[in-house]
Amino acid sequence: GTFDIILSTVSAPLDFGSYLALLRTDGTLVNVGAPEEPVSLNLFSLISGNKAIAGSAIGGIAETQEMLDFC
């Protein structure tokens, strides 16, 4: 893999396996968008590369707009 961190803001279904393959060992995929459908992935790709998936609830549209207005 190439990246230490990948930040995904997409709320559409993704092929998480493809993104995990882009991570270096000890890399993290941070997901702030959430698809409505359940996510499927091969856990071996996490374990073998000591990779992680993290999430963050950064707020809704109103909070995001307020933050952008502040900047």
Q: 3-33, pLDDT tens digit by residue?
A: 999 988 888 888 889 999 999 999 999 888 8
pLDDT band at 69 (very low <50, low <70, confident <90, very high): confident
Could you tell me the CATH number of the domain that includes residue 28?
A: 3.40.50.720
> What phi and psi, each to the nearest 5 degrees, are found at residue 31?
-115, 115
For the chain, the domain total comes to 1
Residues with Cβ < 8 Å from 34, sequence gap 6 or more? 11, 55
Confidence check: pLDDT of 61 > 80: no
In the prediction, which pLDDT does 20 show?
Answer: 94
* Sheet strands side by side (includes 3-8): 3-8, 23-31, 52-55
Q: In DSSP terms, which residues pair with 30 in a beta bridge?
A: 7, 54
Count other C-beta atoms under 10 Å from residue 19's C-beta. 21
In the prediction, which pLDDT does 56 show?
Answer: 77
- What range does the domain containing 13 cover? 3-70
